[in-house]
Structure 1
Amino acid sequence: MSEETLRMVSTAHGPMAVRRQGAGDPVVLLHPLALSGELWRPLADALSDEFDVLSLDLRGHGASGWDGRAFSIEDMALDVAEILDALELPSVGMLGMSMGGSVAVTFAGLFPERVGSLVLADTTAWYGDDAVTAWAERARRAAEVPRAEQLPFQVDRWFSPAFSDQDPEEVDRVTKIFMRTDSAAHAAASTAMGRLDSRRLLPAVRAATLVIVGEDDYATPPGMARELAGGIAGATLLTLPGLRHMALVERPELADVVRRVFAGKPVTEGTRA
């Protein structure tokens, strides 16, 4: 396990934080809504013996800046492009979970030549016909409800009850990241999620793609994962029993599956973690 460094990268919309560790082919990890690249520390530790791992803080999250203006998921994907340009990384492997997955698939569709391998976990390219209204309510709650009072809703979506009972330290680690997230940025990103529709970009994705979903994920349910995998040529779908919205956190052994994708090895639906 190598030591992590934190670098601030200047972009047109402010400084963006990049946590980096390891050596080898570069891989980028993109976090869910209202969290930060810090979420990925266990996964980054696991991958850093073989890869140059970059865990980004998306706009307004973690240590990354935000100018207070509305933004879209596509804007966040363009932020990623600016960061990779600044770091002189023309092509990477990419992983995103939840909002990070929406950013990742948007990036891979906009810049297909820049993503060689892609892992999309518990995510979607579109939240459906009622998304704008539903996410507007989520944005209102993010802005107006005290963050501690939002935790029961979040934790229930993120983790299975069994995991919350068995590993309260990891649940606490993730909730502390959530508590540090700026409420206004959380609300702005929620609005962006409601307006997300990257379905048109799916046919452009050329990366070897694995779509992962928890069977009990009711935030981005398996039906959304099937549509995502069905829209990307050659994508593999891995459905995991008993898991909710943060499969890669709840099952750290999935790092071995992620490693296979980034190493260019085949992954099938029957692959064991």
Structure 2
Amino acid sequence: MQTAFENLPFRDIPTCLGRLRVRTAGQGESIVFWSSLLMNGGMWMAQARYFSQRYQVILIDPPGHGDSATLTRAFSFEECARCIVEVLDALAVNKAHLVGNSWGGMIGGTFTAMYPNRVGAAVLMNCSGSAAGWRHRIEFPLLARIIRLFGGFRGGMRSLATRAFVGPTTERERPAVMTHIHQALSSCDINSIAWAVESVVPRRPDQLARLATIRSPVMVIAGAEDRTFAVKETHAMAQVIPGAKWVVMERTAHLAALENPEEVNNLIDRFLTEAKFE
């Protein structure tokens, strides 16, 4: 899986948050994929293989992740949305569908609200539209400091980060997913990850009023076993988006596209086929 990802054609695109490594596959309408914190575009390879038969798939290594440039400061959600616009401009793509997980789902909401003329439909997975609660405001800045102090995800830190991503089903039954997560953690740039965690978790804004302005077709997906964003929190996000389709995936936690790729592919495919675009 990782070799196939690394062999995809790529471009390095300058953006307001530094150089982003962007890989593409296929032809047709474009779908942009933005991943979770600590993950690069490789988390979407099952989707790339499936959708590149009919679409142009655009896999972004988010700022400070994968082969993109390192981060040297905190950032805003508006800057992340602007990065998507800059990627589309560089690829001469006028409009694209957006699929995002966690960080990518939250940024997908920002992008869809801010740039309605650049988005077809959006699929927002395992994410939240609310500001950070007390647990995220306390635990995640501490996590970022510990990661910097110990120079990476080792031992208990790796176990803690992995547990935030997976649920009991994946822990029991999906060793390949666990391996993918561990490999992703081992390749993280520590300073970049600390900046990203700080920006996406404790500093994240309340976006519910902004999301209420969206008029594009949107599907919001929650994982029944998600330990990072409870189903009720993701549902609150879906409820404020006019006409949003709401889905809860059983036996799935925080990385739905990795844990249940076939179900995710079918959900996205059916949604894009049935969505009504103005």
Matched, 1:195 2:203: yes
Q: Distance in 2 between matches of 1:236 and 1:24?
A: 24
Code of the aligned partner of 2:261:
P
Q: Which residue of 2 aligns with 1:262?
A: 272
Q: Secondary structure at the match of 2:79?
A: helix
Which shows bigger deviation, 92-101 or 130-139? 130-139
Which of the numbers 162, 170, 176 marks the counterpart of 1:169?
176
* C-alpha contact (below 8 Å) 1:22/1:48 kept by paired residues: yes
Q: Which residue of 2 aligns with 1:271?
A: none
Matched, 1:222 2:231: yes
Gaps of 5+ in 2: none
Q: Which residue of 2 aligns with 1:41?
A: 45
Q: Distance in 2 between matches of 1:151 and 1:87?
A: 36
Code of the aligned partner of 2:79:
D
> Scaled by the length of structure 2, what TM-score is found?
0.89
Percent identity for Structure 1 against Structure 2: 25
Q: Distance in 1 between matches of 2:194 and 2:129?
A: 19
Code of the aligned partner of 1:203:
A
In structure 2, relative to structure 1, the CA distance for the partners of 1:203 and 1:191 (3 Å cut) is same
Code of the aligned partner of 1:236:
K
Matched, 1:135 2:144: no
CA deviation vs aligned residue, 1:129-163 (integer Å, no higher than 9, x gap): 42433432232233234312322112222223332
Q: Distance in 2 between matches of 1:79 and 1:6?
A: 16
Which of the numbers 209, 230, 246 marks the counterpart of 1:237?
246
CA deviation vs aligned residue, 1:100-124 (integer Å, no higher than 9, x gap): 1111111111112211111011001
> Scaled by the length of structure 1, what TM-score is found?
0.90
In structure 2, relative to structure 1, the CA distance for the partners of 1:12 and 1:238 (3 Å cut) is closer
Shift in Å, 1:231: 1.1
Shift in Å, 1:185: 1.1
Q: Secondary structure at the match of 2:212?
A: helix
* C-alpha contact (below 8 Å) 1:38/1:177 kept by paired residues: no
Matched, 1:50 2:54: yes
Code of the aligned partner of 1:208:
P
Q: Distance in 1 between matches of 2:138 and 2:163?
A: 22
Q: Distance in 1 between matches of 2:140 and 2:112?
A: 24
Shift in Å, 1:265: 4.4
In structure 2, relative to structure 1, the CA distance for the partners of 1:196 and 1:87 (3 Å cut) is same
Q: Distance in 2 between matches of 1:54 and 1:179?
A: 24
Which of the numbers 255, 262, 265 marks the counterpart of 1:246?
255
Matched, 1:211 2:216: no
Matched, 1:70 2:78: no
Shift in Å, 1:261: 2.1
Aligned length: 266
Q: Secondary structure at the match of 2:154?
A: helix
* C-alpha contact (below 8 Å) 1:76/1:103 kept by paired residues: yes
Q: Distance in 2 between matches of 1:129 and 1:21?
A: 38
* C-alpha contact (below 8 Å) 2:102/2:125 kept by paired residues: yes
Q: Distance in 2 between matches of 1:252 and 1:47?
A: 12
* C-alpha contact (below 8 Å) 1:116/1:206 kept by paired residues: no
Q: Distance in 2 between matches of 1:155 and 1:56?
A: 22
Shift in Å, 1:67: 4.8
* C-alpha contact (below 8 Å) 1:113/1:206 kept by paired residues: no
Q: Describe how 1:10-25 pairs up with structure 2 within 5 A.
A: 10-25=14-29
Q: How large is the Cα RMSD of the aligned pairs?
A: 2.0
Q: Describe how 1:19-168 pairs up with structure 2 within 5 A.
A: 19-130=23-134, 131-145=136-150, 146-149=152-155, 150-168=157-175
In structure 2, relative to structure 1, the CA distance for the partners of 1:148 and 1:129 (3 Å cut) is closer
Gaps of 5+ in 1: 267-273
Q: Distance in 1 between matches of 2:145 and 2:133?
A: 19
* C-alpha contact (below 8 Å) 1:18/1:57 kept by paired residues: yes
